[in-house]
Every structure is written in C-alpha cells, then in structure tokens.
Amino acid sequence: MARSKKEPEKVEKTGQTYVEPLETVLHSSMLPYAEFVILDRALPRVEDGLKPVQRRILYTMNEMGLTPDKPHKKSARIVGDCMGKYHPHGDSSVYDAMVRMAQDFNMGKTLVNGHGNFGSVDGDPAAAMRYTEARLEPLALELLRDIDKETVPFSLNFDDSLKEPDILPGRFPNLLVNGASGIAVGLATNIPTHNLEEVINGVVAYIDNPAISLSEMMKYIPSPDFPTGGIIIANELIQAYKTGRGKITLRAKITAEETESGKTNLIITELPYQVNKAQLMRKIAEMREEKKDELA
C-alpha cells in the first residue's frame, strides 16, 4: 500500500499577520541573518584583517585627507561622516572602534593616531568624541595605498548613493599583526597580535617556499607578541597554530628588588594582555590586607 504523502502546511493570513511553520521561518530568516552577521558585522576579513566598521572608519579618514602629515580633526566629525556615508548604526559603536585602533595597549600596531584622552590600561574610558581628535597612522596608509587604482572591489553603500571598498588593499598581514576578536552567529574568533617584523619575515619565507612546514614557519614567527608584554607559557601554542584552536597562557613579568631594609620588592614590569592594571592593584591590596602570603 502506498504511503500517503503529508500535506504541506499552508500559510494562513490573519489580518496583517502571516502564520508559517517554524522550520520555514528558520530556513528563510535565520540563515540570511547569520550570513549578514558573519560577513558584514562581527568577524574580520582575512584579506585586510578588518571588521566592516574598522574598514569604513579608515576609508572615511582617508577620504577626509587625514594623513599623518595633516592636522588632527575632531573625532565627532569623523564619526559623523562614517555614519552618514557608510555605517548607519550607533555613533558609540563607531567611536569605540576608532578609539580601540588608537590604543597602543590593545593594538599590535595602532592604525589611528589619537590626540586627547583615548583611555588607558587602567580601564579608564576615552573622553567624549567632541573633545578628542584623530588622524591616520603611517602604517594605516599601507592598508589604503593604491585603493584608487582598481586594486579592490567596491560596492554601493546602504542607500546606494556612494561606493565603498569591500576590502582594503592591505600591503601587510594586518590580521596577524593586530589580531582580531569577534562573536558571530555560531562562529567566533580570537586571534592574538604578532610582531610586525616577524610576520613580514614569515611572509617572505612563504613566498620563497609555499610548501613551508609549521615548524619551519615558527622559526620566523615563534609566538604571538602582545603590546603589553608578558611571558607566554607555550603549552598549547603549537597546537593552536596547527589547528586554529588552543589556549595561550600569559604571565606578568616580575623582577625582585632588594631594599635597604632587607625586604624584597616584587616589581611588575609587564602585564598580560588586556589585564586591567587598576583592578590588579586593587586585588593585590586586598590580598595584602588579608595577609595572604601566596599571590597565585
């Protein structure tokens, strides 16, 4: 006896509301949303190592002529131009992204040269955008160079009135130099920063030998290089480079200093990446008050 086929569920119209099966809605709505978040918001492109908001900020500043040899301009002007032309989202998200590209304790190499209070390693926030000023760093020009020579594809902006680059030309591997972090739908990334000179040497070695092994490449790029220093405990480093998954353990760099009274002071000269110095000092003070001998 032939099996009867299940009748497809019909779409019912109730007033202005359309009732559809959940699996249909998920297939037609969730996938495009996930694709948008992955490609157009949360994760950087491999080619230039930038998220869309970062790329649009740098392109806006380049269009404004904010090269390193020109005076700084108000951050509010830059944010306004970027929002109005290319990035129609909240001004705080644009400003926060620009501030981060100017912080030498967050970036391997800064791409924005900030003038004013752009935050600190103590966790202090940047001043309001109406007070601070910015321009491009020299290294940012290497991401933008030859952009007007049809080196990269362009697409229409959100209202089809202007064109913006899909990627920047990128004359150095910014994804490795400055790292990246982001959480999308079902995907996430967290790439550490690396030393610019070591990365360039690695690129040259790869050009000379495209079949270069991981062990040979690690002679040129031995480990990440964080802007705040620290000591890397390389227990999973090779596995992380090999598979793209792994954990990097960082410790502060500490030296012991004898005082005239015979006591020993521990001097912290380098902090692990993204450790808040003010919170660390507060925690040390609390432990001292509790008379704890072990600091680990």
Question: Is 86 known to be catalytic?
Answer: no
- Return the beta strands (E) in the chain as ranges: 12-14, 17-19, 73-74, 112-115, 133-136, 154-156, 163-165, 180-183, 188-191, 231-233, 249-251, 253-258, 264-270
292 DSSP β-pair partners: none
Check 131, 206, 220, 273 and give the catalytic one: 131
Q: Measure the CA angle with vertex 50, ends 33 and 179; round to 5°.
A: 110
Q: Which amino acid is at 10?
A: K
DSSP letter assigned to residue 169: -
Strand, helix or coil at 113? Answer: strand
**Residue 279 is encoded by which pair of tokens?**
């919170």
188 DSSP β-pair partners: 183
Per the listing, tokens 């660390």 go with 280
If one counts every other C-beta atom within 10 angstroms of the C-beta of residue 262, the result is 6
256 DSSP β-pair partners: 266
DSSP 62-111: HHTT--TTS--EEHHHHHHHHHHHT--S-HHHHHHHHHHTT-TTT-SS-S
Q: What are phi and psi of 215, to 5 degrees?
A: -65, -35
How far is Cα 265 from Cα 255, in angstroms, rounded to an integer?
Answer: 8
The set of catalytic residues is 131
